[in-house]
Structure 1
Amino acid sequence: MATTHIINVEKRNDEGKGASRRLRRAGYVPAIVYGGELKPVSIQIQHKDVWHASQNEWFYSSILDLSLGGDVQKVLLRDMQRHPFKQIVLHLDFQRINENEAIRLRVPLHFLNQESSPAGKASGVVITHELNEVEVSCLPKDLPEYIEVDLGELKTGDIVHLSDLKLPKGVEIPELRLGKEHDNAIVIAKEVREEIEAAPAEGEAAAAPAAAAPAKAPAKKDEKK
């Protein structure tokens, strides 16, 4: 079962750029909650709480419980504006969810047992992660915080695709409904020795053009008239 993540918020009455600047100076982040049958509501959250939450993976891929004086609304983070170079969150957008309707959200992939796999132990093999997250569709109650990818049996030359993922019950990948051409690679274990051997040595590459060039004809001496 997914962990509950509670974020305490306060209602915001003043709006506009000037009000937002005052809030930020006071250590708060302006935000808005929208969606569902209720009207959009302007809220404010202590910056230290937002900053702490933003350092965690779950903040971007989990259902959040916004608590306004004990009144909890389940939401998803839909947008976060950051300062260009300062460690400051400027604004947040949250969307309410209906617990009886499927949602689509990108969740991170956690790769397990890569180094202990046959490919991980082999020399001259590079394992690349083509994807680090995947979009899933499910009811809110079934939303996983992440999906594990066990690479314990990965061998040289193997390719792990989206269709190889072991998804939790009630969770699907919408992209796979579009056909086999959308069954993208997630992990590739590729041997690089052949590429290195196939590439000409630096000295050989330089010598080849010289060998191919025709020899220059000797310079003619001036004939005496």
Structure 2
Amino acid sequence: MHEINLVAEPRNGETKAKVLINQGRIPAVVYGPEMETISISLDKVEVLRIMNRVAETTSIVLSLDGKEHRAFLKGVQRDKVTDSVIHLDFFIPSSGHKMELHIPIKLKGTPIGVEKGGIVDHIINELPVAVLPKDIVEEIVVDVSSFDVGHVLRVGDLEIPEGIKPLLDDEDAIMLIALPRAAKEVEEEEVEELEEDVEPEVINKGKKEEEEEE
């Protein structure tokens, strides 16, 4: 599992966030089932350096007061105007505590159906799961190169590593190879034509029955 190292400093709760940010620090909190919430701050340059590489499944080694803690990023607060990071939340799980997080689903290969003109409809990009910290994987890879038009990938079809429990039903669709828009329109027109052909027959049958009854 890919790890990222960050050095944190204890933070005085009375110090305002704007003051810290102006000093080149990012305010944050650390919490978990076996600890009280701790206010910390991080070097702004270091935070910006790793932000595009951190996902919910990324293991972060957080150094604090000479001790190392395995943490996970659970929340990012950004400025509404500048979109810059202004606060972070870190979660430190216990060894036997299952976490609920989202694992990215990566589709590998070009489906046969796409070569025939189909379109990939990726419905669920991240799978919600319950998992122990030791069993976390960064992504679930699915080879979709053999998928033809109309193929549906469901949660139950995924090869999920042991120890990871999906929080969705097995029948929930992850992705499908849909018909192109033009083909859908033709298909809908054909259905409409069939319905129009059937309707007069039903009406005529009704009239004939009425005549026989008379």
Report if TM-score (shorter chain) is over 0.5: yes
Structure 1 or 2: more strand by fraction: 2
1:185 aligns with one of 173, 192, 211: 173
User: Quick one: distance in 2 between partners of 1:41 and 1:111?
Assistant: 39
Counterpart position of 1:92: 88
Shift of 1:44: 0.4
Counterpart position of 2:7: 8
Shift of 1:88: 1.5
User: Quick one: distance in 2 between partners of 1:37 and 1:98?
Assistant: 7
Q: Deviations over 1:36-76 (max 9, x none)?
A: 232221110111221222212x4322232211254111222
Contact 2:2 2:59 in 1 (8 A): no
Counterpart position of 2:183: 194
Shift of 1:139: 1.3
AA partner of residue 131 (structure 1): I
Counterpart position of 1:203: none
Shift of 1:196: 3.0
User: Quick one: distance in 2 between partners of 1:149 and 1:70?
Assistant: 41
User: Quick one: distance in 2 between partners of 1:134 and 1:31?
Assistant: 27
1:72 aligns with one of 58, 62, 68: 68
1:148 aligns with 2:141: yes
- Greater shift after overlay, 190-199 or 149-158? 190-199
User: Quick one: distance in 2 between partners of 1:88 and 1:106?
Assistant: 23
Please, what TM-score do these two structures have when normalized by structure 1?
Answer: 0.77
- Helix, strand or coil for the counterpart of 1:39? strand
Counterpart position of 1:223: none
User: Quick one: distance in 2 between partners of 1:37 and 1:106?
Assistant: 23
1:109-120 alignment, distance < 5 Å: 109-113=105-109, 115=110, 117-120=111-114
Contact 2:34 2:94 in 1 (8 A): no
Shift of 1:170: 1.6
Contact 2:56 2:101 in 1 (8 A): no
User: Quick one: distance in 2 between partners of 1:166 and 1:99?
Assistant: 25
User: Quick one: distance in 1 between partners of 2:52 and 2:112?
Assistant: 34
AA partner of residue 149 (structure 1): V
Kindly tell me: are residues 48 and 59 of structure 1, through their superposed partners in 2, closer, same or farther at Cα, counting changes over 3 Å?
Answer: farther
After TM superposition, what 4+ stretches of structure 1 lie above 4 angstroms from structure 2? none
Counterpart position of 1:27: 24
Can you give the 5+ residue segments of structure 1 that lack an aligned partner in the other structure?
Answer: 201-225
Contact 1:53 1:59 in 2 (8 A): no
Shift of 1:87: 4.2
Contact 2:30 2:39 in 1 (8 A): yes
Shift of 1:156: 0.9
Which structure's CA Rg is the greater one? 1
Between the aligned residues of both structures, percent identity stands at 24
Q: Deviations over 1:131-169 (max 9, x none)?
A: 110111221111011111210211111000111111112
Please, what TM-score do these two structures have when normalized by structure 2?
Answer: 0.80
User: Quick one: distance in 1 between partners of 2:16 and 2:46?
Assistant: 20
**Count of residues in Structure 1 that have an aligned counterpart in Structure 2:** 188
Shift of 1:175: 2.3
Contact 1:36 1:98 in 2 (8 A): yes
1:134 aligns with 2:127: yes
Contact 2:32 2:94 in 1 (8 A): no
